[in-house]
């Protein structure tokens, strides 16, 4: 079997047994850790004899997940209500404060308060099935191989269950358009956006039909000339009734169970007309144009043949699940997804994927963490 990242089994340290490995300590991972603690699991380093154990591995240098990297103008009022972790409300904060300043300390406090003992920075290189005869007595476990960096040997955990909560932030999606490599201006993904001031006085083409695209359009259009393009017409959410939202979640869940690539819920529900969208509309900048057909050295070519000049192309084109480390399990379908139902891989029931498909929203992530732990407890 190919070992992702070129690790051969004999390079690994001997496997260490553990009941549950949680990969990732963002919203979904911390939710899983909290529910494991509530159900009587102890972190590996402090477990008494006979206690169920878990270990949390996180590739970041410090607590906060993807919130550590968000742009400054993403304030607490913009992200209102979507980041609460179970069992601990966010302290009262200034709603104009950047979420990247407020949420990492909240996550750090949460890890301490519930004794989650997150190990970081630890990158998981691969998750594989055991090799008969060499992975020890835990040969029905999944083997999680970490990449500790430096010259230390990779560690290997033999886990009865793996909860994968790696999110999407580390995998920004850049679509390809002809001529992309000829562009003489700057191209960047939302992932690397800092603030609007760096584009002052320039012409910025913003690509994308999601929340980030509209937020950044509203912001950048105050200091620069903008052109907003999307592949499809924008559908506005006219009726934000809860039943519409749950029907959308069901549709996304359905796709995920079939092994189709996960789809965002907003793509199904349509886009809510948030305050920044109304503001952009009032200023006359919320004008959607069809997607350009090619990129040229100094701009883009529109479907009607018109040339639109551009200094910057900002790709607000979303993210893909960060699951390359799961490749040795061979779960990817011909359609490009992993078959997941109720947070569990249908083709490898020892693996839970939370923050994948319908649980990608932060609200969904908390619930998915709880449900994964509940399913594990029922079987142990």
Lowest mean pLDDT, pick from 89-103, 119-133, 150-164: 89-103
Q: What does the mean pLDDT of the chain come to?
A: 85
Can you tell me the distance from the alpha carbon of 66 to that of 29, in angstroms, rounded to the nearest whole number?
12
Distance, CA of 138 to chain centre: 31
CATH number assigned to the domain covering 4-170+320-379? 3.50.50.60
User: What's residue 3's pLDDT?
Assistant: 41
User: What's residue 143's pLDDT?
Assistant: 94
**Residue, of 364 and 2, whose pLDDT is higher:** 364
- Contact by Cβ (8 Å): 163, 26: no
Q: Residue 56: pLDDT above 50?
A: yes
Domain boundaries, the chain: 4-170+320-379, 180-236+271-315
- Contact by Cβ (8 Å): 169, 191: yes
Can you tell me the distance from the alpha carbon of 177 to that of 182, in angstroms, rounded to the nearest whole number?
11
Can you tell me the distance from the alpha carbon of 164 to that of 202, in angstroms, rounded to the nearest whole number?
41
3-class secondary structure, 349: coil
Residue of 99, 148, 128, 117 lying closest to 30 (CA atoms):
117
pLDDT over 90, % of the chain = 47
Q: Residue 177: pLDDT above 90?
A: yes
245 pLDDT band, cuts 50/70/90, is low
Q: Residue 10: pLDDT above 60?
A: no
DSSP state of 298: T
Q: Residue 18: pLDDT above 50?
A: yes
- Is omega for the bond preceding 121 within 30 degrees of 0, making it cis? yes
**Residue, of 95 and 219, whose pLDDT is higher:** 219
Positive or negative torsion for Cα 353, 357, 358, 363? positive
Can you tell me the distance from the alpha carbon of 118 to that of 64, in angstroms, rounded to the nearest whole number?
12
- Pick one of 3.40.50.970, 3.40.50.880, 1.10.10.10, 3.50.50.60 as the CATH number of 180-236+271-315: 3.50.50.60
- Contact by Cβ (8 Å): 342, 200: no
User: What's residue 93's pLDDT?
Assistant: 78
Q: Residue 7: pLDDT above 50?
A: no
Encoded tokens for 358: 């319908």
- Cα angle for residues 282, 285, 291 (degrees, 5° grid): 140
Can you tell me the distance from the alpha carbon of 138 to that of 141, in angstroms, rounded to the nearest whole number?
6
Can you tell me the distance from the alpha carbon of 347 to that of 256, in angstroms, rounded to the nearest whole number?
13
* Average pLDDT of span 311-334: 94
Q: Residue 5: pLDDT above 50?
A: no
Positive or negative torsion for Cα 181, 186, 190, 193? positive
Same fold, 4-170+320-379 and 180-236+271-315: yes
Predicted confidence (pLDDT) per residue in 335-362, tens digit: 888 998 888 999 999 999 998 876 556 5
91 pLDDT band, cuts 50/70/90, is confident
Can you tell me the distance from the alpha carbon of 263 to that of 317, in angstroms, rounded to the nearest whole number?
13
Q: Residue 157: pLDDT above 80?
A: yes
Neighbours of 174 (CB within 10 A): 14
User: What's residue 44's pLDDT?
Assistant: 94
User: What's residue 1's pLDDT?
Assistant: 36
- According to the per-residue pLDDT averaged within each range, which of 93-107, 181-195, 250-264 is highest? 181-195
């Amino acid at each position: 079997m190919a070992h992702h990242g070129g690790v051969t089994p004999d390079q690994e340290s001997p496997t260490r047994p553990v009941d549950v490995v949680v990969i990732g300590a963002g919203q979904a991972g911390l939710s899983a850790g909290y529910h494991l603690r509530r159900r009587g699991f102890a972190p590996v380093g402090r477990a008494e004899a006979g206690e169920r154990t878990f270990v949390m591995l996180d590739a970041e240098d410090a607590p906060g997940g993807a919130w550590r990297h968000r742009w400054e103008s993403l304030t607490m009022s913009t992200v209102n209500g979507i980041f609460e972790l179970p069992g601990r409300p966010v302290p009262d904060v200034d709603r104009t404060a950047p979420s990247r300043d407020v949420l990492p300390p909240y996550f750090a406090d949460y890890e301490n308060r519930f004794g989650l003992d997150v190990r970081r920075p630890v990158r998981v290189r691969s998750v594989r099935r055991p090799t008969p005869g060499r992975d020890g007595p835990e040969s029905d476990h999944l083997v999680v191989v970490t990449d500790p960096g430096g010259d230390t040997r990779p560690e290997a955990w033999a886990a009865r269950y793996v909860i994968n909560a790696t999110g999407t932030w580390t995998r920004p999606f850049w679509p390809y358009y002809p001529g992309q490599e000829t562009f003489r201006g700057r191209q960047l993904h939302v992932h690397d956006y800092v603030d609007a001031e760096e584009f002052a006085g320039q012409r910025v083409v913003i690509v994308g039909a999601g929340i980030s695209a509209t937020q950044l359009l509203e912001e950048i259009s105050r200091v620069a000339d903008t052109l907003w393009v999307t592949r499809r017409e924008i559908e506005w959410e006219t009726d934000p009734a809860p039943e519409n939202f749950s029907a959308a979640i069901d549709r996304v869940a359905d796709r995920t169970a079939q092994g189709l690539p996960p789809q965002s819920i907003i793509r199904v529900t349509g886009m809510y007309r948030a305050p920044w969208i109304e503001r952009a509309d009032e200023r006359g900048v919320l004008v959607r144009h069809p997607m350009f057909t090619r990129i040229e050295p100094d701009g883009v070519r529109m479907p009607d043949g018109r040339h639109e000049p551009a200094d910057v192309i900002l790709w607000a084109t979303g993210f893909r699940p960060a699951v390359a480390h799961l490749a040795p399990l061979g779960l990817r379908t011909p359609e490009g997804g992993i078959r997941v139902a109720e947070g569990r891989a249908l083709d490898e029931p020892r693996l839970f994927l939370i923050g994948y498909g319908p649980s990608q929203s932060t609200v969904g992530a908390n619930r998915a963490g709880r449900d994964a732990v509940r399913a594990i407890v029922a079987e142990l």
